[in-house]
Structure 1
Amino acid sequence: MVYRGSVPSRTEPLGARIRRLRRARGLTQRELAEPRYDRGFLAKVESGRRAPSDDVLSHLARRLGLTADELRFDRPPGAAEELTGALETAYRELQQGGLEAAEREFTRVERRAAEYRLPDVQCHARFYLGEVQWQRYDIPLADKGFAHAMELANAASPRLRAMIVNRVAACRALSGDLGASVALVDNALADLRATGASDPDAELALVTASLHPLIEMGALGRARRAAEEGRRVLPSVHRADIAARYHRQAAQLWQEIGLVDRAEKDLSRALRLFTSLGYDRDAARCRWARGFLWRRLGELDEAHAELRLARDLLAKAGSREGVLGATIELADVRRRQGKLDEAAELAEGIRPLLDRSPDIEARTEVLRLLGLIARARGDLPEATALLEEAATAQEKSELRGALVATSLHLGDTLRARGLIEKAAEAYRRGVRAAAMSDFGPTG
């Protein structure tokens, strides 16, 4: 804060603040009070003997060149814009790996916004503090941070409220409660649309949040309808980061239903947008998604190169969650290439991260991967145990798409051991999961 005149106290009474600001502008009491009030009335206000009404405060603020709230809360002109700009600058720093510096700035802005009674800015700062924990892959702490932001959501813009819901839903999904994740987003979308006011940024942020859990539940028809809703909203969206996140998430759906060219186009759009914004972490996540696509297409050398690059970029950006996901895919590529020792080393190397996280999806992916490595090495009992553990967790968490694949691998492993009845039950488990899912291209 820059003031002319004496430096204000944090506990400065309102009357004393009016006197200080009046003197700093070279005004007498009569000049400030007139024409609506007289000098004697202002003297009582400045001494604290008379509390100013809202009308009085508005008059004095106009005469001092301030808004009523700037005068009431000792808020410098343009404070909201300045603090919001500081948040955006710090968020780019977070994306580029400056976690500690960004966290300090978010904390400073949150505190200052509270002092200035700017609940919308304070909410935004709390949201970004949750993002810090998300990047550290501390999902429980991130969830608490987003809940802390939600306490002020009524003062926030629809877009920011939607982004908070987006992240809370992601925390629910990572913790294995896909149904709760989808329900949270559905309710938020219904509330947004019930207002009758159009906010394409908020709507697209919420639609994007629904895609991943729907895909993992095998509800591909619903996911496709949501993605098409997003495409209709997309031309009206103002925020490039929201558009980019939609493109990246929609690409996952197009992969699942076999629209490879569409997936590649969406990933390319997302990568360009994130790069233009200086969002290094999110750009690297696009490369991770592209490596995943190439792995599914059997282009293993290209997938290996892209996933290694993605992992290194995500590590530089300080994204533990991203490093974990890219490493899982990288390990699976090496398994498919016959590099079993390297694949096992990669998978085992990330297990400590999983031990500290509720991320059921990633944990089961690693278990399945280690099971497949054990089977390739000829250790069928170990492969059976790992695949069964993965399937049980996937079934409990409604990860139906993953369960179909794991059940097939488990059935093949049991059959190789001569356990035909158990193999048949594993296959039936996969069939039941597929029957509860929708894997068709049109839904």
Structure 2
Amino acid sequence: MTYRGEMTEPLGARIRRLRAERGWTQRELAEPGYDRGFLAKVETGSRPPSEEMLAYLARRLGLTVDDLRFGRPPGVADELRASLDEGYRDLEQGRVALAEERFALAGKQAADYRLGDVECYARFCLAEVKWQLFDVSGAQKALEHASERADAAPPWLRAMIVHRWSGCRYLSGDAGTAIARVEEALASPELDPDAELCLLSALIHPLMEMGGLHRAQRAALSGVRLTRVATRPDFVARFHRQASQVWQATGQSARAEQDLIEACRLFASVGFDRDAARCRWARGYLLRRLGRLDEARAELTSARDQLAAIGAEEGVAGATLELAEVRLRQGAPAEAASLVSEVWPLLARDVESLGEATGLLGQVAQSRDDLPEATRLLREAAEIQTRASLHGAAVSTSLRLGDVLRQRGHLDEAIQAYQRGLDSAAGTDS
């Protein structure tokens, strides 16, 4: 989508061009509010128009004042938003380079036309490119760049910027800051149902991983009420995906699976292939927890392949680690270790996945009766998880570490590991 070079056109020349395009004389445009001579000086640039005259001329030309002032073609804001929406679908379907090019062009045009809300949206979309490529620090910087235009943005977009920014902080091992930022945004009086639902969705996973089950449950129950009035299907779908974690933790497995199926359906209905594949990843995790390992393997393999096809590296890492856990449980430790190795270069960007992968390799070593190596890896995993305040994961890892140490006859160290697990459990509210 391209436009003529009106953005650099002097205001007077723009008025003259628009008048000529309509076949009007200077007198026909100027009268009855102003005389022809004054308009002639405005058109040549020798006299700037007052705000009152600018409003009068805009009205006569059938434009808004800002459309006239900044040389905006009629409908350009809607066209740019539609272009960004289309680019976002390109991104969700793996056409990353095309999407990034579209976002950059729309952002430049929005800046030239002084369309602050559209420019903010374009900057957010560019941050989504970084997110898709698992460039966590790059995504956070791009989101902060988008925040500079957030005052002009609609509530849903401001909420989504906070959602993603908090996700970056969480992946960087700063879950406390991630949660605090979302809770601060939830206190805003300007929220609409879509924005509130978006923010509640952002809270659930960090709260769950920090052991805040009761707080996560409150967020989920509030979100259920909002799904009845929210207007964005992608926000409703994202909430269903996150809320499924709460239903799993509270023994409502059937409800959790139904939420994931509905989320996948909604994402697919708007062409969001990346997010639909992430729902399959989440369902694979649930199936693994339920002991339905063959189904879990099939779902996770499909999710991983779909995410790889569209270049969603964060999703590839997560689905692959979950698949490795399934294969370990199915008695294939060598394949589990190989799967972890495939995504190891990605894991430094995500503290949660790094801790999970390290602990998983510890389990592989334990299955091979290499207890010293299992001890080393499980200790390292527990350290990662404790530093990141991932209390639930740290409890499980510490208990497994204690069992390995007890198996080796290191009873004092085993007791210390169990105590560490108890200390981590004390950091939860479940």
RMSD: 1.2
Distance 2:411 2:97 in 1: 55
Residue 198 of structure 1: CA displacement? 5.4
Instruction: Tell whether 2:82 aligns with 1:89.
Output: no
- Match for residue 296 of structure 1? 289
Would the alpha carbon gap of residues 136 and 33 (structure 1) be closer, same or farther in structure 2, given more than 3 Å must change?
A: same
Distance 2:378 2:5 in 1: 66
- Match for residue 338 of structure 2? 345
Amino acid aligned to 1:254: W
Contact 1:364–1:393 at 8 Å: present in 2 too? yes
Residue 2 of structure 1: CA displacement? 8.3
Distance 1:114 1:327 in 2: 40
Distance 1:198 1:95 in 2: 26
- Match for residue 305 of structure 2? 312
Amino acid aligned to 1:392: E
Distance 1:311 1:250 in 2: 22
4+ residue stretches of structure 1 with deviation over 2 A?
7-11
Instruction: Tell whether 2:274 aligns with 1:277.
Output: no
Deviation string, structure 1 residues 125-170 (Cα, Å, up to 9, x no partner):
0001000000000000000111100011111011110000000000
- Match for residue 434 of structure 1? 425
- Match for residue 372 of structure 1? 363
Trace 1:44-123 onto structure 2 (pairs within 5 A). 44-123=41-120
TM superposition score normalised by structure 2: 0.98
Residue 252 of structure 1: CA displacement? 1.3
Instruction: Tell whether 2:18 aligns with 1:21.
Output: yes
Residue 262 of structure 1: CA displacement? 1.2
Give the secondary structure class of the aligned counterpart of 1:236: coil
Distance 1:353 1:202 in 2: 31
Contiguous gaps of at least 5 residues in structure 2: none
Trace 1:227-306 onto structure 2 (pairs within 5 A). 227-306=220-299
Contiguous gaps of at least 5 residues in structure 1: none
Give the secondary structure class of the aligned counterpart of 1:235: coil
Contact 2:211–2:392 at 8 Å: present in 1 too? yes
Contact 2:162–2:182 at 8 Å: present in 1 too? yes
Residue 257 of structure 1: CA displacement? 2.3
Contact 1:8–1:17 at 8 Å: present in 2 too? no
Moved more, 427-436 or 237-246: 427-436
Deviation string, structure 1 residues 247-271 (Cα, Å, up to 9, x no partner):
0000012112221011011111101
Deviation string, structure 1 residues 175-217 (Cα, Å, up to 9, x no partner):
1111101100111111x2xx2x551001111111111110000
Contact 1:367–1:390 at 8 Å: present in 2 too? yes
Amino acid aligned to 2:102: E
> What is the aligned length?
430
Deviation string, structure 1 residues 294-341 (Cα, Å, up to 9, x no partner):
101111111001000000011112100000000000001000111111
Distance 1:391 1:324 in 2: 20
Task: Give the fraction of aligned pairs with identical amino acids, expressed as a percent.
Answer: 58
Give the secondary structure class of the aligned counterpart of 2:33: coil
Deviation string, structure 1 residues 391-426 (Cα, Å, up to 9, x no partner):
011111110000011011100111111101101111
Would the alpha carbon gap of residues 198 and 148 (structure 1) be closer, same or farther in structure 2, given more than 3 Å must change?
A: closer
